[in-house]
Amino acid sequence: MKKKEGSVDKIAIALMTIIIGGILTFTNIAFTQAMETKAQLNAVVREYLLDLESNGWVAGINDNNTLKSELEQMKVSDKTAVVVKYYAYDVNTGSKRELTSSSKVKYGEQIEIVVTGAIPITQYDYKEGQSIVEIPFEITRKTVAKVVNQ
Amino acid sequence: MKKKEGFVEFAVALFVIFMIAIMIKFTMDFREMRLVDEYLEDALASAVLGAAVVDLDTYGATRDIVIQGYHGRESEGADPINGFRQSYNNFVESFKASLGGTPVEYNEKPKKALEYGRSKVIDNITIESFQVYNYVGGSYRRLYMPDDLLVWDKIADLSPVVTPNYGVTHAKTNPIVGSSSEYLVDLDGNAIGTTIYVKIGYSLALPNGKDLGTRGFREYKVSIYEEVVTP
């Protein structure tokens, strides 16, 4: 079948350009915002850890909610919860144990903090009120406890 | 030959979309590089803080603030190398973990150990310099790894370097020698206490893994001193 010459519709091309350009721009904005949020999350964790450093990490381990609630106030996902976990390492045996608010920490013990959660990318789902697409994040920091709590 | 109608419009549309895509790629790359750079700085800070653990036994016995493992004065049979090893190990393990590295092997060589990263933007991380300055009896005792001995196995071969006149002084009358990154005095010329200084190097690449052929460097220093509280 012979194609018709000049069948390309200028309006269709313009619309297509606008739609594709719009989608790309929207995606760019969404990802940019997500990356900014991640940078802010990093900054909050950094400040928190520097505070902990001055009191030897004990306060942070005993109070597992301060950082979590601080992070939850940022643009994180409602669907995926922010989880903050502390671990301690035994250098001699290489064993790792999770710390709870009642755990004892030895002076000089290696401590690891792992923060996980997700950042929403798309707008909120109008039915569920939750984000549709999310980028998971994990922030891990390891250092050494300076104060004994036992 | 006559061009098909709409060809120009189609080409312009493609060009516009292509340009938008290029701009998006460029901005995303730039942001990711900045993010990873900040991440690296945070990891370095945590690791150096992790290495700066004071030896409580020494502090209790002599009031000297030295890095954990120093175990008193050398004249009394102290083993500063052990402290250095412990401190260095804390640094490497903390740094690796914060960069998303694999589980730590105690004797893993640092160059290999720090090749793991969360992103391709920063790769091939090496420890360029790791120096511990224990401030004991009014002078610093420096322990360090020369660049050509940047291997874990050879740390034990090094002897402690006492460097009262090498870049380190707390007397106002003596000139300070060395690079600014090694200054261990404040603006008034007072000693700033036991210090750990670390310099790392890393390769920069685009997020797609293309090496930019350049290396970046970053330094971090933590000083520990006794806070005097005036009643």
Among chain B residues, the shortest Cα distance to A3 is held by B4
Among chain A residues, the shortest Cα distance to B105 is held by A94
Question: Which pLDDT score, from 0 to 100, does residue B117 have?
Answer: 43
B58 touches chain A (CB under 8 A): no
* Residue B108, helix vs strand vs coil: coil
Rounded Cα distance between A27 and A32, Å, is 8
Rounded Cα distance between B175 and A110, Å, is 39
B27 touches chain A (CB under 8 A): yes
Summarize pLDDT for B130-150 with one digit per residue, the tens.
777 777 777 777 776 554 443
* Residue B70, helix vs strand vs coil: coil
Among chain A residues, the shortest Cα distance to B24 is held by A28
**Pick from B35, B98, B104: which is nearest to A39 by CB?**
B35
Among chain A residues, the shortest Cα distance to B39 is held by A42
Rounded Cα distance between A84 and A130, Å, is 22
What ranges make up the beta strands (E) of A1-150?
83-89, 96-99, 110-120, 134-144
> pLDDT digit of tens for each residue in chain A (150 aa)?
555 555 567 788 888 888 988 888 888 888 888 888 888 888 888 888 777 776 655 555 666 677 888 888 887 777 788 888 888 887 777 788 888 777 777 777 888 888 888 888 765 555 555 556 778 888 888 888 776 554
Rounded Cα distance between A39 and A33, Å, is 10
**Pick from A21, A39, A144: which is nearest to B38 by CB?**
A39
Between CA A57 and CA B202, with CA B93 as vertex, the angle to 5 degrees is 115
Between CA B222 and CA A119, with CA A112 as vertex, the angle to 5 degrees is 105
B22 touches chain A (CB under 8 A): no
What ranges make up the beta strands (E) of chain B?
122-136, 139-144, 161-162, 194-205, 211-224
Q: Do A112 and B97 touch (CB under 8 A)?
A: yes
Optimal mutation site among A32, A112, A141, interface B, most CBs of chain B within 10 A? A141
For A82, which DSSP code? P
For A148, half-sphere exposure in the C-beta direction (CA atoms, 13 angstrom radius) is 6
Closest CA to B200 of B37, B35, B34: B37
Question: Which pLDDT score, from 0 to 100, does residue A137 have?
Answer: 80
Rounded Cα distance between B36 and B23, Å, is 20
CB pairs under 8 A between A and B: 109
Question: Which pLDDT score, from 0 to 100, does residue B48 have?
Answer: 86
The series of mean pLDDT values per 10 residues for chain B, 231 residues long, is 68 87 84 78 84 80 75 56 75 80 39 42 70 75 55 36 33 34 58 77 69 77 71 60
ipTM score over 0.85, yes or no: no
Q: Which residues of B touch A146 (CB under 8 A)?
A: 53-54
Strand order in the sheet with B122-136: B161-162, B139-144, B122-136, B194-205, B211-224
Question: Which pLDDT score, from 0 to 100, does residue B46 have?
Answer: 84
**Pick from A7, A16, A24: which is nearest to B21 by CB?**
A24
Q: Which residues of A touch B89 (CB under 8 A)?
A: 91
**Pick from B7, B53, B98: which is nearest to A108 by CB?**
B53
Tell me the two tokens of residue B176: 């300070």
Q: State the pairing for strand pair A96-99/A83-89.
A: antiparallel
Rounded Cα distance between B62 and A17, Å, is 75
Rounded Cα distance between B140 and B160, Å, is 11
Cβ–Cβ < 8 Å for B133, B141: yes
Strand order in the sheet with A83-89: A96-99, A83-89, A110-120, A134-144
Cβ–Cβ < 8 Å for A8, B12: no
Between CA A130 and CA A139, with CA A135 as vertex, the angle to 5 degrees is 120
Rounded Cα distance between B172 and B112, Å, is 42
Q: Which residues of A touch B98 (CB under 8 A)?
A: 140-142
Q: Do A8 and B10 touch (CB under 8 A)?
A: yes
Q: Which residues of B touch A43 (CB under 8 A)?
A: 38
Question: Which pLDDT score, from 0 to 100, does residue B189 have?
Answer: 59
B101 touches chain A (CB under 8 A): no
Question: Which pLDDT score, from 0 to 100, does residue B135 have?
Answer: 77
Q: Which residues of B touch A25 (CB under 8 A)?
A: 20, 24
Percent of chain A with pLDDT over 70: 76
Q: Do A5 and B5 touch (CB under 8 A)?
A: yes
Optimal mutation site among B9, B23, B26, interface A, most CBs of chain A within 10 A? B9
Rounded Cα distance between B23 and A139, Å, is 29
Question: Which pLDDT score, from 0 to 100, does residue A134 have?
Answer: 79
